[in-house]
Homo-oligomer: A and B are copies of this chain.
Amino acid sequence: MTDKLKPLREQIDAIDAQILALLNQRAKVAQEVGHVKAETNAPVFRPEREAQVLRGVADRNPGPMVAGDVQTIFREIMSACRALEKRVTVAYLGPVGTFSEQAVYQQFGSAVEGLPCASIDEVFRATEAGTADFGVVPVENSSEGAINRTLDLMLQTTLLISGEVAIPVHHSLMSKTGGMDGVRVICAHSQALAQCQVWLNQNYPNLERRAVASNAEAARMAGEDPAMAAIASEIAGTQYKLGVVKPHIQDDPHNRTRFAVIGHLQTLPSGKDQTSIVLAVPNKAGAVYQLLAPLAKHNVSMTRFESRPARMGTWEYYFYVDVEGHVHEPAVAKAMAELKDQAAFFKVLGSYPLSLT
């Protein structure tokens, strides 16, 4: 074998030497970029530029390397080049750890300084105060729906959304024994129960389903009571020493949790962007349809719509709306201007590159 492998490995070594030289060439040019930026006090991290590079290499990737893996490599390359200018500090929500931290690395690569915070409020505070350059906060959790605290804080903050990250989330059925003998109740957050409904109907139609405060709470309960099984992430399961009965039982295999990247930055157009806004109308929820007419008029697609009862102030509901495009694009700008005129409350949360995944 060694005889056949040796020339191939020599080829690889030669390629690696070229890659190494190019990486350092790139780093040198990136340093020059840093100097130019420093003269004008321009930001080190440009999400729209990084999104363009990542899309570009995936589009032009001839294979056989998988496009997603090419993007992972280039994310690290940009992260390493950026760190030569300044190591970006990113605040994130510590608890449940893994997903939020994963989101940080998915957006910024490894060469960042993570700043774990105890609450979503603290992530906003640390970023507003400049302790962190950016914050990463959950926006929508597939097991618990919209993260209300994030939406509330978005209303008040001066920070803008500069990016979006989606992390795949899997639900697994777990119990103390790893089996279903003696199990009478399946516990989970109501959203997780809903997301596994088809599978549960097929496999355990006769077991009681009980909605609890969170999937982590369900895992804790199952760890104490062998008559209970839990639907939760395997990370939560291992924390309470549960055995996996069946992994990945959610009906939608592409279940994701969404995070927003927040900061002081006004992101420029990347070519494939999204704009998040929040607005309110006085009293009548029926006024919403009419309110959104400017979007249709200017041919701006709405990709997400969420209403939320106001906890304070004059309005009954706030509406969180995502639309395709960047506020610098004429159609979007016109639609926004008209929305602003009509709505009782209107705020642009940010325009930013569409998440890659």
Interface of A toward B, CB cutoff 8 Å: 1, 4-5, 8-9, 11-13, 15-33, 36-37, 39-40, 42, 49, 53, 56-57, 60-66, 69-70, 72-74, 76-77, 79-81, 83-84, 93-98, 101, 110-111, 116-119, 234-235, 237-239, 241-243
Contact = CB atoms under 8 A, between A and B. Distances in A.
A295 to B, nearest CB: 31
B116 A238 contact: yes
Contact of A31 (B57, B64, B116, B237): B64
A74 to B, nearest CB: 7
A178 to B, nearest CB: 8
B49 A9 contact: yes
Contact of A80 (B5, B33, B66, B243): B66
Nearest to A30: B12
B235 A1 contact: no
25 contacts: A4-B36, A5-B37, A12-B26, A12-B29, A12-B30, A12-B53, A13-B53, A15-B26, A16-B26, A19-B19, A20-B60, A22-B22, A23-B73, A24-B64, A27-B65, A65-B80, A69-B111, A70-B80, A73-B76, A76-B76, A94-B237, A97-B98, A98-B101, A116-B234, A119-B241
Contact of A11 (B13, B29, B235): B29
Nearest to A26: B15
A72 B65 contact: no
B65 A69 contact: no
B16 A239 contact: no
Contacts of A80: 65-66, 69-70, 72-73
A61 B29 contact: no
Contacts of A83: 66, 69
B72 A36 contact: no
A234 B94 contact: yes
Contacts of A56: 13, 16
Name the residue among A61, A97, A98, A243 with the largest chain B CB count within 10 angstroms: A97
A117 B23 CA distance: 37
Contacts of A235: 94, 97, 116
Given A42-B1, A66-B83, A117-B238, A26 B19 contact: yes
Nearest to A243: B118
Contacts of A30: 12
Q: This chain: how many copies in the complex?
A: 2
B8 A36 contact: yes
A95 B242 CA distance: 11
Nearest to A40: B1
A24 B94 contact: no
A63 B26 CA distance: 10
A114 B18 CA distance: 31
A48 to B, nearest CB: 12
Given A8-B29, A235-B97, A77 B73 contact: yes
A26 B110 CA distance: 23
B238 A23 contact: no
A15 B25 contact: yes
A29 B16 contact: no
Contacts of A116: 234-235, 238
Given A9-B49, A98-B97, A118-B242, A77 B19 contact: yes
A94 B64 contact: no
